[in-house]
């Protein structure tokens, strides 16, 4: 446990001493603030649904930037050899990197909570969809970070890792559009692989446990594949 | 206690939790609680499989070693797919809104649950109508929970080809199709009306027909239904426990309408 704590601390330091984290946070908050203000002044409806969809899109764009360097950078600098020869398992290394990146995503969500608090002060919002929206965003973030970590484990170039993650996320975003062109049962498979199809109910206040399971299974699968990819010499 | 024994204990606990929750869900009558317990069992089982999968050797040697990694990756993908299908079949839904915007009326829920054959509902809604949009959202929730009900929601303003194929000209028209029979309701956002429309083509069969007085009331509604099926009849065998509930609901509504008409 102590080894894991040390690994996690190392990864947290690596993330929060990098300018990438602060640039991502700043861009995220500026865009969110603009969207929130605009939505509130135009619609006069105390809801965060638009904000949740905006965060969804921003996650798809920013998570690859957060995760691209996790393993790819270590492979490029050959520090991965030092890490893998240390008396820690590959799984612990992956979990430490995963939790450190997830903490940045969580921080983004916590900071965006200011909009929910503002809404609570100014009006009387329905808190149920707000809680469910944040739950959905957290699960989405957890799944995206795991997939980003997996792609970073597969290649040794950060840019390629980021582009690979981005391509995968965009494909999973729009895959339901292709579903209608496919025959049964591939249409259902394509539609159910879509991130948006599973995220939309959360954002509007409708929670399906299968959606929770979808994001959890993606995160677990990607973490498992990351462990195997990391062990690849 | 060593890390290895802690992990072993953790896996044993996950196994017991999965087994216990699965067994508890098996006997429950309340579908939502049973499905929620099933989800707990599913989560514990997935964590257990994940923990066990991490025990697989990372560096394999031997003649078939080059096949092992793709095989493991393929098995993991297949397992994730099957796990999601299993969860989808026991899905539970929670409406987090205060107004219950996503909660279907009991009639619709009962009739959708009692379906034994596939029914396709196509709703040509008006995207600018808030009530129609609300009905669309509830229909999608019901369709996700009941595999025999397929819902296609189309915006009449943009899906002109489909509207022409179905000969639909008015906003918020519902077309229900089942085994070659078709029912159509025009200009509706009433989910109860849609529920009865779902039941009619699904239940109208040549064998063992039972007529019900609610249909007289529904048929008297101007421009409400146009169907080629056997109007106003349900199969007697379908009026089991859920069928009776739906029948009671229909009778109550029909009685209410008769009372208002008087």
Q: What is the pLDDT at residue B202?
A: 62
* Residue A206 sits at the chain B interface (C-beta within 8 Å): yes
- Contact call for A129 and B53, based on CB within 8 A: no
Which residue on chain A is closest to B93 by alpha carbon? Answer: A208
Please say whether the beta carbons of A59 and A24 come within 8 A. no
pTM for the predicted model, two decimal places: 0.82
Average pLDDT of every residue of chain B: 77
Fill in the DSSP letter of residue B226.
-
Fill in the DSSP letter of residue A23.
H
Task: Give the residue from A93, A187, A210 with the most B CB atoms within 10 Å of its CB, the best one to mutate.
Answer: A210
* Residue A221 sits at the chain B interface (C-beta within 8 Å): yes
The CB density around residue B248, as the number of other CB atoms within 10 Å, is: 12
pLDDT along chain A (233 residues), means of 10: 85 90 93 90 86 94 92 84 82 93 95 92 91 96 96 91 94 86 82 92 93 96 93 70
Name the band, by pLDDT with cuts 50, 70 and 90, for residue B19.
very high
Instruction: Calculate ∠ Cα B192-B196-B200, nearest 5°.
Output: 170
Pick the CATH number of B106-261 from 3.40.50.1110, 3.20.20.300, 3.40.30.10, 3.40.50.2000: 3.40.30.10
Nearby residues of A230 by Cβ (< 8 Å), 6 or more positions away? A71, A80, A84, A90, A93, A94, A153
Name the band, by pLDDT with cuts 50, 70 and 90, for residue B254.
very low
CA B124 to chain centre: 19
- Contact call for A206 and B42, based on CB within 8 A: no
| Residues from chain B contacting residue A192 (CB–CB below 8 Å) | 84, 88
- Cα–Cα dist B2/B124, whole Å: 63
Three-state DSSP class for residue B125 = strand
* Residue A212 sits at the chain B interface (C-beta within 8 Å): yes
* Residue A141 sits at the chain B interface (C-beta within 8 Å): no
Instruction: Calculate ∠ Cα B144-A53-A102, nearest 5°.
Output: 95
Instruction: Calculate ∠ Cα B58-B61-B67, nearest 5°.
Output: 80
Instruction: Calculate ∠ Cα B158-B163-B168, nearest 5°.
Output: 130
ipTM of the shown complex:
0.88
What does the domain layout of chain A look like in residue ranges? Answer: 2-231
| Residues from chain B contacting residue A128 (CB–CB below 8 Å) | 95-98
């Amino acid at each position: 446990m102590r080894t894991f704590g040390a690994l996690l601390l190392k990864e947290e330091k690596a993330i929060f001493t990098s300018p990438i984290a602060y640039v991502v946070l700043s861009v995220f908050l500026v865009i969110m603030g603009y969207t929130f203000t605009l939505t509130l002044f135009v619609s006069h409806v105390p809801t965060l649904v638009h904000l949740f969809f905006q965060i969804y899109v921003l996650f798809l764009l920013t998570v690859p930037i957060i995760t691209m360097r996790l393993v790819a950078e270590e492979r490029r600098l050959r520090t991965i050899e030092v890490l893998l020869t240390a008396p820690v398992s590959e799984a612990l290394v992956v979990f430490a990197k995963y939790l450190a990146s997830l903490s940045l995503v969580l921080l983004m969500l916590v900071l965006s909570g200011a909009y929910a608090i503002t809404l609570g002060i100014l009006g009387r919002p329905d808190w149920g969809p707000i809680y469910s929206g944040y739950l959905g965003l957290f699960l989405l973030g957890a799944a995206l970070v795991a997939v980003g970590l997996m792609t970073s484990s597969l290649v040794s170039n950060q840019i390629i890792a980021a582009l690979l993650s981005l391509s995968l996320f965009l494909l999973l975003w729009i895959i339901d559009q292709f579903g209608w062109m496919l025959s049964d049962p591939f249409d259902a498979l394509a539609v159910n692989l879509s991130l948006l199809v599973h995220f939309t109910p959360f954002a509007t206040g409708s929670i399906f446990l299968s959606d929770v399971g979808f994001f959890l299974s993606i995160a677990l699968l990607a973490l498992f594949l990351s462990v195997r990819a990391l062990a690849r010499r | 206690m060593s890390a290895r024994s802690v992990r072993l204990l953790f896996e044993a606990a996950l196994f017991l939790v999965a087994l216990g929750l699965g067994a508890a869900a098996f006997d429950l009558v309340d579908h939502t609680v049973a499905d929620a317990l099933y989800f707990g069992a599913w989560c514990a089982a997935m964590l257990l499989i994940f923990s066990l999968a991490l025990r697989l050797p990372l560096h394999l040697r031997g003649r078939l070693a080059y096949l092992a990694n793709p095989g493991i990756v393929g098995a993991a993908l297949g397992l994730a797919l099957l796990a999601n299908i299993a969860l989808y079949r026991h899905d539970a839904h929670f409406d987090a809104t205060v107004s219950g915007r996503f909660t279907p009326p009991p009639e619709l829920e009962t009739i959708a649950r009692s379906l034994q054959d596939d029914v396709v509902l196509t709703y040509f809604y008006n995207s600018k109508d808030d009530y129609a949009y609300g009905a669309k959202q509830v229909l999608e929730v019901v369709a996700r929970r009941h595999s025999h009900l397929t819902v296609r929601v189309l915006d009449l303003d943009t899906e002109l080809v489909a509207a022409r194929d179905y000969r639909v000209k008015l906003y918020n028209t519902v077309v229900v199709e089942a085994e070659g029979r078709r029912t159509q309701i025009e200009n509706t956002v009433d989910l109860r009306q849609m529920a009865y429309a779902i039941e009619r083509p699904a239940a109208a069969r040549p064998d063992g027909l039972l007529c019900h007085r609610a249909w007289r009331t529904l048929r008297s509604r101007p421009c409400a239904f146009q169907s080629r099926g056997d109007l106003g009849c349900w199969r007697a065998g379908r009026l089991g426990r859920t069928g009776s509930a739906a029948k009671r609901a229909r009778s109550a509504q029909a009685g209410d309408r008769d009372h208002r008409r008087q």
